[in-house]
Chains A and B, each alone.
Chain A
Amino acid sequence: MNLEEHSVVFAVGTLALILLAASPTLSLVLSFPSGKAKFTEFWVLGPNHMMEDYPFNVRVNETYRVFVGVGNHMGSSSYYAVYVKFRNQTQPLPDALNSTPSSLPPLYEYQVFVADEATWETVLTFKILGVSRVRNSTLVGDVSINDSVFFLNSTALWDSKYSGFYYQMFLELWVYNTTSQSFQYHNRFVAFWLHMTI
């Protein structure tokens, strides 16, 4: 190896050492995308904290409970709203294809702040307070959710296919958008059917 070749090796080695010495500062200036997917988990579990035994055959004045949870993987703390809604078979659910929420008003709501990579979970208890049957339909008057009473006045017609009067309790997840400074439907909802037993 002649002197010129040695000088190239020396220059390359020096450059590598300079980059190594400057790397702490470069890491402060340069940022690389993490490549991690940003998403939110949203779940409802049965009374035994499992994906089973969800309340189904419901009776008046009996208390039922489920667990509702949110897991934040959005890369920063997030501000969520969970809306609890109640519908009969003809009323609308959220539209997953168009990312639009149900037009029904919420009965109950949670507003929660969840740190990144953290979860929030709570118990949701509910009780049907008044049901009346008129010919081939039932009318649910009031519902108690977490000991607060809400006027509902929802009618369900007899479902001849499944032999019963059916309602659905569903929960929508909304997230606060700091750009628009408003809550936006996060295109996630969980639901369970209730077979009204009179």
Chain B
Amino acid sequence: MRRELVSVLRYSLVLLMILVFASQFSIFLTFAEVSEDKAASDLTNAEEAVASAFEVVLDAEQSGANVSGLLVRLNEAGGFLAQANMSYSAGNFEEVAQLAHLSQSIAEEVKGEAYELKNLAQSENLRLMSFTMMGSIVGVVLVVLGSVWGWRAFRRSYYRRVLKMKPEVVSDEP
């Protein structure tokens, strides 16, 4: 009876050890998986942030803003993003997270600055457009007024010249 009890206890102990070992392995696997998922998610966020920043920079450029400084910063973000992609392929997920965050933070700064530049350029464009339109309107009005005045003066002098004309008799004799 005592021997059986000892045997049962021994088996239980072995089973317990196996369970403890298995649970640790399972926890490790779970952590590894989460880390990969997080790296993938960080990478996607960084890619979206960089692409979105580029689109705002492009809008600012089309509005007439000078974006050369922003492109330099975007190149830094792009460099980190490329490194993050390569680290992801190599399975260095810790490094992916760091590089992706760096890239994303630069991209978000650039996006904010690009919005400011775009708004500045648009208001400058609006100001320039109003000045140009005002100038054109004033120019057209002056041309029309000048032309009416000129035409009247010309017509007056034309009639005066015609009225001053005297009929001449021209002999048609050979």
Give A193 Cβ to nearest chain B Cβ, in Å.
24
The answer on a CB contact under 8 Å between A25 and B82 is no
The answer on a CB contact under 8 Å between B154 and A6 is yes
Q: Is A163 an interface residue (CB 8 A)?
A: no
The answer on a CB contact under 8 Å between B55 and A178 is yes
The interface stretch among B6-14, B30-38, B132-140 is B132-140
Please, how many angstroms separate the alpha-carbon atoms of A14 and B145 in the complex?
10
A residues less than 8 Å from B71 (CB atoms): 77, 113-115
Q: Is the interface of A mostly helix, strand, loop or mixed?
A: mixed
Interface size classification for chain B: 35 or more
Interface size classification for chain A: 20 to 34
Please, how many angstroms separate the alpha-carbon atoms of A25 and B134 in the complex?
9
Complex: chain A residue closest to B158, CB-CB: A3
Please, how many angstroms separate the alpha-carbon atoms of A76 and B148 in the complex?
47
5 pairs from A and B in contact (CB 8 Å cutoff): A10-B154, A21-B142, A25-B136, A77-B54, A111-B79
By a beta-carbon cutoff of 8 Å, the part of chain A in contact with chain B is 3, 6-7, 10, 13-14, 17-18, 20-25, 28, 76-77, 79, 81, 105, 108-115, 148, 150, 176, 178, 181
Known: A14-B147, A21-B139. 17 other contacts (CB 8 A): A7-B151, A13-B147, A14-B144, A17-B147, A18-B144, A22-B140, A24-B136, A28-B129, A76-B61, A77-B58, A77-B67, A108-B86, A110-B78, A112-B75, A113-B71, A115-B68, A176-B51
